[in-house]
Structure 1
Amino acid sequence: MLAISAYASAALGSRRIKDLAYVPAESPDFDAVRHRLDVYVPRKKSATGFPVVVFIHGGSWNSGSKNIYTFIGRRLAKQGVLAVIINYRLAPNVAVPAMADDCARAVAWVHQHLADYGGDPGRIYVMGHSAGGGLAGLLATDDRLFAKIGLAANPVKGAILDDPAGLDMFDYLTKMEYPNDQQYLVPFGKDPAVWRTVSPLYFIERQTPPMLLYIGERTYPSIRNSTRRFAQRLTEAGVRYQLKELPGKKHVPMVTQLFWKNNVIYRDLLPFVGGGR
């Protein structure tokens, strides 16, 4: 009952606009389900425009839906952030490079339309959990994703990566250290050159935007190790970041904890994006 009451309170603080298409319906690759996003608009007004957080769901690159994460959209909007929760195409229908393209197109749509919802174009951030964290990291580091769809500059001003998977799939798939690793050859393919092109670690440069990184103390070793290597590369490049390991947390609770507004990630996120202005 307490959880239901808390969620109802969050819903009252926002307005949800559902199932907006971020790819034109006439596009030859348009997917009527996966090329959709939801916008969560704070009900309170902002004189300067709301910061924008685009959330990318996880699901091992072959499952997941924006509809599972309404609680994140509601929580962010109630705290003064314009939240956008996106779908993107999944394996086996497409491989990870196409998923990254979808996410970039969603961010480009947000950049073009956010003023309609009171968003600040100078404060667009990406956030993701698990596979979505890896995709968010790629959006923040690989400017080519936006250049090839016609944007002169990468609009992403920072990233929040929650127990991210896929930060270095080149290393992961080269080693194949864990049981059932063969399954990831479906979304990533068998070409090591492709593994590298979708691994954010290899695109970090001095101009990479700042990041918040979170890992669970009891998460998968591959996620913990790759996130720490990613953080080391950020250090080497001189990129501002924060890395926190959350005691006792496993992989799935790293995202379900976002149901609660006083979660440590929200407490860090709001000043990071400039929320509550």
Structure 2
Amino acid sequence: MKRFLTVFTAATVSLLNLTACSGAKVLESLAPSESVMVTKDVVFDAERDLALDVYRPVDAQGAPLVVFFWGGSWQTGDRSTYAFLGRTLASRGFVVMIPDYRVYPEVRYPDFLYDSARAVAWARAHAHDHGADPARLSLMGHSAGAYNVAMLVTDDRYLEAVGGARDWVTSWAGLAGPYDFLPLNDAELERIFEPADPLESSQPINWVDGEVPPTLLVVSDDDPVVDPRNTERMAERLERVGVPVELLRVDNLRHAGVVVSLSNVFPFDDRVLSTVSRFLGRVPPTGPAQAMSE
């Protein structure tokens, strides 16, 4: 069975990677559709022409809110690719918002982080409109999106710039994220992060303190894109300062498979989906946001 699962997983991820568009449509077609309401192209930043998609249970009332950020090396990506994730988590009782953020060459560091912060602020302010509880706000991201989330929960500057604070966030989950990736050995990444001064200030691991919310980190041991040691070092640093952190290590999913597994294409192995659902659903509301929702 294990060998079958390994072959099935590798074949599925390879198939879905053939073309992002067709792969995304396959995933969405397999995602739950009953009892899930979808609202697309909701503008949260008209000045920068940024929008988000909302996935929610049809009867959502006070549901946990998850804002998910996609990856693509801060150069590519599209929120519509992750409809499968929104539908799947909505079917499990979450309200999921998947926003845009600008990428290179339109912008460089740290502009995409401020875009992400504006999306979080909008999501929190409009949570009730979509049946979500702003007191149960979690952030999640994959790859570059996990980096964006990690920076929001470790470095105060971004949420403070939109009138918020890190204590808005109840918990966060990072999937196959780069958290400690210096030195830069890629010309495009060098251009993207050139504005950071010093360059070390662009690394989430260097901002970790005891105020980071409870954390779930997921990594595949065979990830060829982002060195799994990024996740290992981040978990160790969080533990060192007393942050509650859960580390899920999987195998045979590589890089894309970690996020693809938040779908219905792996019927024999739902470790990532079940862990993410349990983690994001169990954390109690934060104090300040709870007061806001009352």
Q: Same fold (TM over 0.5)?
A: yes
Instruction: Give 2:54's aligned amino acid.
Output: V
SS at match of 2:249: strand
Aligned CA distance change for structure 1 residues 117 and 172 (closer, same or farther; 3 Å) = same
Residue 93 (str. 1) matches residue 106 (str. 2):
yes
Q: TM-score, normalised by structure 2?
A: 0.81
Aligned CA distance change for structure 1 residues 135 and 270 (closer, same or farther; 3 Å) = same
Query: Distance in 1 between the 2:242 and 2:190 partners?
Result: 33
Aligned CA distance change for structure 1 residues 59 and 153 (closer, same or farther; 3 Å) = closer
Q: How many residues align?
A: 256
Determine the structure 1 residue equivalent to 2:159: 146
Query: Distance in 1 between the 2:82 and 2:27 partners?
Result: 17
Question: 5+ unaligned residues in a row in structure 1: which ranges?
Answer: none
Query: Distance in 1 between the 2:166 and 2:141 partners?
Result: 21
Cα contact 1:214–1:243 (8 A) shared by 2? yes
Q: CA deviation at 1:266?
A: 2.2
User: Larger deviation: 69-78 or 151-160?
Assistant: 151-160
Determine the structure 1 residue equivalent to 2:234: 230
Cα contact 1:140–1:157 (8 A) shared by 2? no
Cα contact 1:139–1:156 (8 A) shared by 2? no
SS at match of 2:76: coil
Query: Distance in 2 between the 1:258 and 1:88 partners?
Result: 21
Q: 2:280 aligns with which of 250, 270, 273?
A: 273
Q: 2:59 aligns with which of 40, 44, 65?
A: 44
Cα contact 2:205–2:237 (8 A) shared by 1? yes
Cα contact 1:219–1:249 (8 A) shared by 2? yes
Query: Distance in 2 between the 1:88 and 1:227 partners?
Result: 23
Cα contact 1:59–1:130 (8 A) shared by 2? yes
Determine the structure 1 residue equivalent to 2:177: 164
Cα contact 2:174–2:216 (8 A) shared by 1? yes
Q: CA deviation at 1:139?
A: 1.5
Instruction: Give 2:32's aligned amino acid.
Output: A
Question: 5+ unaligned residues in a row in structure 2: which ranges?
Answer: 1-24, 285-294
Aligned CA distance change for structure 1 residues 190 and 151 (closer, same or farther; 3 Å) = closer
Q: State the Cα deviation string for residues 82-130 of structure 1 (Å, max 9, x = none).
A: 0011110000110120000000000000010011111111111111111
Query: Distance in 2 between the 1:221 and 1:269 partners?
Result: 22
Percent of aligned pairs with the same amino acid:
31
Instruction: Give 1:267's aligned amino acid.
Output: S
RMSD over aligned Cα atoms: 2.3
For residues 35-184 of structure 1, the aligned pairs below 5 Å read 35-46=50-61, 49-151=62-164, 154-165=167-178, 167-169=179-181, 171-173=182-184, 176=185, 181-184=186-189
Q: CA deviation at 1:191?
A: 4.7
User: Larger deviation: 244-253 or 8-17?
Assistant: 8-17
Query: Distance in 2 between the 1:191 and 1:117 partners?
Result: 37
